[in-house]
Structure 1
Amino acid sequence: MSDRPTYTLAGETGDWEIVLGLEIHAQVASKAKLFSGASTQYGAEPNSNVSLVDAAMPGMLPVINAFCVEQAVRTGLGLNAQINKVSRFDRKNYFYPDLPQGYQISQFALPIVGEGVIDVDVEPAHGDPAYTFPVRIERLHLEQDAGKSIHDMSPAETYVDLNRSGVALMEIVSKPDIRTPLEAAAYVKKLKSIVVALGTCDGDMEKGNLRADVNVSICKPGAYDKFRETGDFGHLGTRCEIKNMNSFRFIQAAIEYEARRQIEIIEGGGVVDQETRLYDPDKGETRSMRSKEDAHDYRYFPDPDLLPLVLEDAFIEGIKVNLPELPDQKRARFEADYGLSRYDAGVLTADAEGAEFFEVVAKGRDAKLAANWVTQELFGYLNKAELELSDSPVSAVQLGGLIDLISSDVISGKIAKDVFARMIDGEGDPADIVEKHGLKQVTDTGAIEKVVDEVIAANPEQAAAVKEKPKTMGWFVGQVMKASGGKANPQAVNKILREKLGL
């Protein structure tokens, strides 16, 4: 892995750097809400998953969901973070039509999880090498979600659905250690892979079960280094928060736009206002939502209906010893057991489903060949088709069967790509496809020798010149493969050509 590259944006008065901090809201994988027994089922009829507590009926008292506490501790351990044995719930006061209580139960001064750190892998882009950088986690706290305001059912009215009200969220707050749009997307991917591996959040961004608020500010080169030395935020520019991002691509586009917007304001003699903004993917721009509140604006105070949360060492240790294999551990195992590069192992372990798929394909087979087919051919197709691995038309067993045909010289790598395309089209088992379309590789040296003789006889001048320019033998290989319909064994073709051409 190379050193972390410098990223700047050019303005009229010189270069600028971006500073990013992210707040990830991960919905806890729990069938019940944080302070009530109401269901968290997605897609239920509006206002059907609402208890009296969620609706803030008078006299209703919250009762903590112990399973949600366990999930938060599990996540904190997965983030290499400090678990706080004493934490507290606070009331965060603000008004929304979809916030029945008029406040949100959250954690402010004493969160359940403190500081941690994770390593984030950034994939190659635009010719740049891959690299890894650390992101410090500031805190993870539990809080309840608000309901949902619906504005598009009537031109004159807003409807409210409280199904989401009270659903448990883990808010994971990073330090401002992220410096590029690509790093921001990579960080969210890494967090998603961790919580999915832990089973504490399903990571479904389309449903909003994992979403990011991105804090963007700009500064002149060198200012960030001074901030890291002193801890003084005065070295950084005014931050603007882009709310509720649930797409890796949109996260990158929103950051790019917002940074350039702030550069234009400052270079034009203006001042960036601290505010919350929304990203409009159709217009490719951010727009103001409201002025950004500071902590004192929320008038936090301890929730009088909830006692402090006190965790025993045995409770924390019991969760720790039962943690599953996490992405970094899995990547290290893939490197050691399968002999894969750090990059390939990182791609394959980016999510639990992909890692499991690869292990089925690689079982008892050439692991590097399996990795190439999974990461390049299959993942390449899925990315282009904008499909999830769960929607793949090719199963792990089928792809493994294709690799078996290559390894046993039944088909060549080139023919395998044709077979793979037919598998994508739904033709099924690779062995059946090869048999049906007569795609078996020709390994009969006598048959190959006959084709080689014909090609050499038809091209005497090239055959005479090839001794002076041995590299031109590749032309003959291509002609023989073409004449054999791509079925001739490439190794046999090369061997026979060398013998016939005297190389």
Structure 2
Amino acid sequence: MQWEIVIGLEVHTQLSTQSKIFSGASTAFGAAPNAEACAVDLALPGVLPVLNRGAVDRAIRFGLAVGAKVNSPSIFARKNYFYPDLPKGYQISQYELPVVEGGTVTIHVGEMEKTIRLVRAHLEEDAGKSLHEDFHGMTGIDLNRAGTPLLEIVSEPDMRSSQEAVTYAKMVHSLVRWIGICDGNMQEGSFRCDANVSVRPHGSERLGTRCEIKNLNSFRFLEKAIDYEARRQIEILEDGGTIQQQTRLYDPDKDETRAMRSKEDAQDYRYFPDPDLLPLEIAESWIAKAKSGLPELPEQMRVRLEREYGLSSYDTSALTADREIAEYYDATVAKLPSDPKLCANWIMGELPAYLNDEAKSFDSCPLSPVQLAQLLMRIKDGTISGKIAKEVFKQMWSKAAQTATAWKNRDSKLDDNLADQIIESQGLKQISDSGELESLIDGVIAANVKSVEEFKAGKEKAFNALVGQVMKAARGKANPAQVNEIMRRKLEA
């Protein structure tokens, strides 16, 4: 039997506020256990929650970015369950009336474009954390995370493979960072996914019994967990068994999911409106202000880059994968609008290679777009070859890195001429004088009679070997296009 995998994701994004959603306690990562848990977070008697306006503002921005409806009013509810890291015995969340309803996210998998529908995005507080290591068989509770503001983004079960799910998760990750509502740090738990996975006979419209895989904090784990869980369910069904609705945990060491508990439904949580929090009214003026503050969104920028610069969909997708990359490209091509493709190639190739080696992001890149554009201008005007440009780039990177300052945080006018300084000081200018090149080529032809004869016999590789000898004689500084043209003219004469 052919099986179809059905996947829906719940993405938990930690909002980038400095304080928690219902208290003034800090959300900074890395403090000593329980150092950032105040009376409200601990649910001490008599305390009352006060909603963080910044968290609401970030939820509105997300809703606008995905074309969703921003509800007014929206209602905060109590989600009742008992767990050691939940001091109140309930979590303040949203259920019947979330702040964001509907919306879509468009993904590209290979040549296929697919729209993933969103059910909702609702505000809620995070729970604390149970620590099981180094406690001699006991469990420690750290409530620093309790009350941290989350926006839970819930998709419809529209994905049909782990590849689609990962692509969607990456798109949401990029979007929340792009609009500045979440730092997206998966290692610190700022962005994590729960995957609802089920299988059904191919062509069936009826959904299978789903299992939820909790707290996946890397895209690789998300892919592996979905693939394992789908195989597990298919094997059970093909053996005549039935799937139990469960909450499961992915173990990356064993590459398997295992049962945590039976999966609860909404009625098990006994949702009811929180009596301590009034309905959240969001004025149209607030929505309008949030809309005016949104940057150009990734999809809008992709369309613009294709229209204005004729870039391919592959190039535009890569350049808009991250807002820092997009801003860097825009700043570079503004200085060299005559060759947007050359700018794109270097920003997708040489730059990320150096950044990855040093574990840096584009935001902390030491080389400014102005400096890169100047280097590319020297390729464009024939001052240096592409090969020499890579050597110049290496030296530029080293010098720029000595400032220990990201390009955004310094006056680029102080070092705009870095490429020219290196080219001039080291005599790296390309040889473009036709008389000098003809002299070099004549010498190579005279010294390589065998290769000349092989070329005349139809062996094109011999031509490349002769050009290589010229470049060697010129120490890589000869203009390759001119060398090719003059060499071919002389040989064919």
Query: How high is the TM-score relative to the length of structure 1?
Result: 0.87
In structure 2, do the counterparts of structure 1 residues 390 and 253 end up closer, same or farther at CA, with 3 Å as the change threshold?
A: farther
Give 1:104's aligned residue.
91
Counterpart pick for 2:239 among 240, 249, 268 = 268
Q: Deviations over 1:384-431 (max 9, x none)?
A: 776533455655444334323322323211222344455566686555
Counterpart pick for 1:466 among 455, 466, 491 = 455
Give 1:9's aligned residue.
none
Counterpart pick for 2:343 among 365, 370, 373 = 370
CA distance in 1, matches of 2:18, 2:320: 27
CA distance in 1, matches of 2:129, 2:377: 52
Once the two structures are TM-superposed, the CA of residue 452 in structure 1 deviates from its matched residue by 1.6
CA distance in 1, matches of 2:185, 2:474: 49
Give 1:30's aligned residue.
17
Give 1:256's aligned residue.
227
Secondary structure of the corresponding residue to residue 310 of structure 1: coil
Deviates more, 1:169-178 or 1:66-75: 66-75
Give 2:479's aligned residue.
489
Counterpart pick for 1:62 among 20, 44, 49 = 49
Give 2:165's aligned residue.
184
Counterpart pick for 1:240 among 211, 234, 240 = 211
CA distance in 2, matches of 1:394, 1:497: 38
2:236 alignment partner AA = I
CA distance in 1, matches of 2:369, 2:234: 48
Check if 1:292 corresponds to 2:294.
no
CA distance in 1, matches of 2:178, 2:164: 21
Counterpart pick for 2:439 among 447, 450, 474 = 450
Native 8 Å contact 1:196 1:202 kept in 2: yes
In structure 2, do the counterparts of structure 1 residues 357 and 170 end up closer, same or farther at CA, with 3 Å as the change threshold?
A: same
CA distance in 2, matches of 1:146, 1:99: 6
Give 2:308's aligned residue.
337
Check if 1:302 corresponds to 2:277.
no
CA distance in 1, matches of 2:374, 2:120: 46
Secondary structure of the corresponding residue to residue 466 of structure 2: helix
5 Å-filtered alignment, 1:40-59, equals: 40-59=27-46
CA distance in 2, matches of 1:475, 1:165: 68
Q: Deviations over 1:47-77 (max 9, x none)?
A: 2222222111112222222222222112111
CA distance in 1, matches of 2:381, 2:307: 26
Once the two structures are TM-superposed, the CA of residue 206 in structure 1 deviates from its matched residue by 1.9
In structure 2, do the counterparts of structure 1 residues 217 and 423 end up closer, same or farther at CA, with 3 Å as the change threshold?
A: farther
In structure 2, do the counterparts of structure 1 residues 15 and 396 end up closer, same or farther at CA, with 3 Å as the change threshold?
A: farther
In structure 2, do the counterparts of structure 1 residues 254 and 401 end up closer, same or farther at CA, with 3 Å as the change threshold?
A: farther
Unmatched segments (≥5 aa) in structure 2? 402-417
Give 1:8's aligned residue.
none
CA distance in 2, matches of 1:53, 1:379: 44
CA distance in 2, matches of 1:245, 1:433: 47
Once the two structures are TM-superposed, the CA of residue 490 in structure 1 deviates from its matched residue by 0.6
Check if 1:131 corresponds to 2:131.
no
CA distance in 2, matches of 1:423, 1:163: 44
In structure 2, do the counterparts of structure 1 residues 30 and 238 end up closer, same or farther at CA, with 3 Å as the change threshold?
A: same
CA distance in 2, matches of 1:18, 1:393: 45
5 Å-filtered alignment, 1:189-208, equals: 189-208=170-189
CA distance in 1, matches of 2:472, 2:400: 25
CA distance in 2, matches of 1:499, 1:334: 40
Once the two structures are TM-superposed, the CA of residue 208 in structure 1 deviates from its matched residue by 1.0
Once the two structures are TM-superposed, the CA of residue 135 in structure 1 deviates from its matched residue by 0.6
Secondary structure of the corresponding residue to residue 466 of structure 1: helix
Native 8 Å contact 1:143 1:171 kept in 2: yes
Deviates more, 1:134-143 or 1:68-77: 68-77
Counterpart pick for 1:161 among 117, 142, 160 = 142
Counterpart pick for 1:82 among 46, 50, 69 = 69
1:476 alignment partner AA = L
Counterpart pick for 2:467 among 471, 477, 487 = 477
Deviates more, 1:138-147 or 1:252-261: 252-261
Once the two structures are TM-superposed, the CA of residue 174 in structure 1 deviates from its matched residue by 0.5
**Paired-residue identity, %:** 52
Secondary structure of the corresponding residue to residue 5 of structure 2: strand
Once the two structures are TM-superposed, the CA of residue 338 in structure 1 deviates from its matched residue by 3.2
CA distance in 2, matches of 1:85, 1:53: 26
Check if 1:173 corresponds to 2:135.
no
Q: Deviations over 1:62-106 (max 9, x none)?
A: 222222222211211111101112221111111111100000011
Once the two structures are TM-superposed, the CA of residue 435 in structure 1 deviates from its matched residue by 5.2
Native 8 Å contact 1:393 1:423 kept in 2: no
Secondary structure of the corresponding residue to residue 171 of structure 1: strand
Native 8 Å contact 2:22 2:52 kept in 1: yes
Q: Deviations over 1:82-138 (max 9, x none)?
A: 11122211111111111000000111111111111121133xxxxxx4432111011
CA distance in 2, matches of 1:400, 1:270: 63
CA distance in 2, matches of 1:56, 1:387: 40
In structure 2, do the counterparts of structure 1 residues 247 and 430 end up closer, same or farther at CA, with 3 Å as the change threshold?
A: farther
CA distance in 2, matches of 1:270, 1:308: 46
Counterpart pick for 1:121 among 94, 108, 121 = 108
Deviates more, 1:235-244 or 1:380-389: 380-389
Question: How large is the Cα RMSD of the aligned pairs?
Answer: 2.5
Deviates more, 1:418-427 or 1:329-338: 418-427
CA distance in 2, matches of 1:316, 1:285: 44
Unmatched segments (≥5 aa) in structure 1? 1-13, 123-128, 228-234
Give 1:5's aligned residue.
none
Query: How high is the TM-score relative to the length of structure 2?
Result: 0.89
Once the two structures are TM-superposed, the CA of residue 291 in structure 1 deviates from its matched residue by 2.0
Once the two structures are TM-superposed, the CA of residue 159 in structure 1 deviates from its matched residue by 1.6
Counterpart pick for 1:408 among 369, 378, 381 = 381
CA distance in 1, matches of 2:354, 2:4: 35
Native 8 Å contact 2:366 2:400 kept in 1: no
CA distance in 1, matches of 2:160, 2:464: 47
Native 8 Å contact 2:4 2:199 kept in 1: yes
Once the two structures are TM-superposed, the CA of residue 373 in structure 1 deviates from its matched residue by 0.5
CA distance in 2, matches of 1:164, 1:309: 24
CA distance in 1, matches of 2:233, 2:356: 32
